[in-house]
């Protein structure tokens, strides 16, 4: 409950024992987001409601984070909505980024046992300046709600905002954006690049829509009206055309554009209580499993039925090709149907 902020918990579970966490940490402020380091999975970056970020080291038997920001070291002034690890920098220092409602995107680097911060970008709401007292120009900040880094182009990232805009940004330019998408009418709740196709990203919003984009084109390729606010959306790790979305009416939806471009393959009620909402969805990187989180703090683990992960049938004597190239081609073929004729491929 955002009105009554209390303590937070960070719990780590194994699928082998869903009834009891393997690790649990309590914090003074609510935990908003977390991210595991892909090369050092014992390192966990966490963002808090009070604007702080921290790193927990699961190898250490301490209940406290190993590193934490503080008011002196550039903490955010509003809740941190997302944290994401990046590749280690030139000096092999671990670093991650955070985005917050205060309009700042900050990079945090672990240098000699402390977190060093650097503001990468400050979002401004349309670059508008408000007239303050005595004619002072006040810059109004845009509020960042979500972001994602490009899988291959190291400096490129997208930021979704509370106003519904999506900014395409570069780590190298802190003052300007590469591009702005007038994406949604309400807050962008989640945004992510396709794991296979380098031009495609997906966004979802409280304005009831999920949209799929080519980052070189200003209008969306596919738009899905979900009938209620969409809390989160995630691409599958095994197919370029499969994604899952959760909506605030407690439902999880799985789409495969390759099978049906218009409708979800499956819509399932996950949360039954009236006042509860589904808020997050994530695919397991290896197994056909998704987990869905809700507002009451429950996590539901769902296995995708074989119909939801059908691969193309093998014809006699023909080998079905698999691999990233096939996945890219599959999505490219769908996009070429909706791209305007004559537009650049």
Which residues face 234 on adjacent strands?
244
Which are the contacts of 218, defined by CB distance < 8 A and separation ≥ 6?
179, 181, 182
Name the more confident of 38 and 91: 38
pLDDT for the residue numbered 262 = 85
> What's the CA gap between 271 and 252, in Å, rounded?
9
pLDDT on residue 211: 93
CA distance 345 to 230: 30
CA 82 to chain centre: 7
CA distance linking residue 1 with residue 295, whole number of Å? 9
Q: What is the mean pLDDT of residues 67-87?
A: 83
Domains of the chain: 8-339 (2.130.10.10)
Residue 116: pLDDT band (50, 70, 90) is: confident
Least confident range of 37-51, 77-91, 117-131: 117-131
Give the mean model confidence (pLDDT) for residues 175-186.
Answer: 81
> What distances in angstroms separate CA 158 from CA 23, 91, 105, 231, 290, one per listed residue?
32, 25, 11, 18, 24
Task: Determine the average pLDDT of the residues in 226-240.
Answer: 90
SS3 18: coil
Q: 109 — phi, psi (to 5°)? A: -120, 140
| Average pLDDT of every residue of the chain | 82
pLDDT at 129: 44
Per-residue pLDDT, averaged over 234-240, amounts to 90
> Do residues 221 and 338 lie in contact, with contact meaning Cβ atoms separated by under 8 Å?
yes
Sign of the four-CA dihedral 226, 144, 81, 282: positive
Mean pLDDT of 231-236: 92
Question: Would you say 94 and 73 are in contact if contact means Cβ atoms under 8 Å apart?
Answer: no
Task: Give me the pLDDT at residue 132, please.
Answer: 47
The answer to whether the CB of 308 falls within 8 A of the CB of 290 is no
Residue 207 in contact with residue 184, Cβ under 8 Å?
yes
Mean pLDDT within 23-50: 89
**Mean pLDDT computed over 139-158:** 79
Task: Measure the CA–CA gap between 271 and 187, rounded to whole angstroms.
Answer: 23
Q: Give the three-state DSSP class for 334.
A: helix
């Amino acid at each position: 409950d955002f009105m009554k902020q209390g303590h937070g918990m960070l719990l780590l579970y194994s699928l082998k024992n869903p009834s009891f966490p393997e690790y649990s940490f309590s914090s003074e402020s609510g935990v908003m987001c977390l991210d595991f380091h892909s090369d050092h999975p014992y390192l966990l970056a966490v963002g808090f409601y009070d604007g702080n970020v921290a790193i927990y080291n699961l190898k250490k038997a301490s209940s406290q984070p190993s590193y934490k920001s503080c008011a002196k070291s550039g903490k955010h002034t509003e809740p941190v909505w997302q944290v994401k690890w990046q590749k280690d920098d030139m000096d092999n220092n671990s670093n991650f980024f955070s985005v917050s409602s205060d309009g700042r995107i900050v990079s945090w680097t672990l240098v000699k046992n402390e977190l060093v911060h650097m503001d990468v970008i400050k979002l401004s709401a349309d670059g508008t300046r408000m007239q303050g007292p005595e004619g002072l120009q006040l810059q109004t900040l845009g509020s960042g709600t979500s972001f994602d880094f490009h899988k291959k182009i190291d400096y490129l990232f997208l930021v979704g905002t509370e106003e519904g805009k999506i900014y395409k940004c570069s780590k190298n330019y802190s003052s300007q954006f590469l591009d702005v998408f007038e994406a949604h009418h309400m807050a962008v709740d989640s945004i992510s690049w396709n794991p296979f196709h380098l031009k495609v990203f997906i966004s979802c919003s409280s304005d009831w829509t999920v949209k799929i984009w080519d980052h070189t084109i200003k209008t969306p390729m596919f738009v899905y009206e979900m009938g209620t606010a969409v809390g989160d959306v995630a691409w599958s790790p095994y197919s370029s055309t499969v994604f899952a979305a959760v909506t605030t009416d407690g439902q999880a939806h799985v789409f495969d554009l390759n099978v049906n471009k218009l409708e979800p393959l499956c819509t399932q009620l996950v949360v039954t209580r009236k006042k509860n909402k589904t808020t997050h969805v994530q695919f397991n990187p290896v197994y056909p499993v998704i987990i869905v989180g809700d507002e009451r703090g429950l996590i539901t683990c769902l296995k995708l039925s074989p119909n939801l992960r059908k691969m193309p049938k093998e014809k006699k004597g023909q080998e079905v090709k698999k691999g990233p190239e096939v996945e890219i081609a599959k999505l490219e073929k769908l996009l070429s149907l909706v791209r305007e004729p004559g537009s650049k491929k």
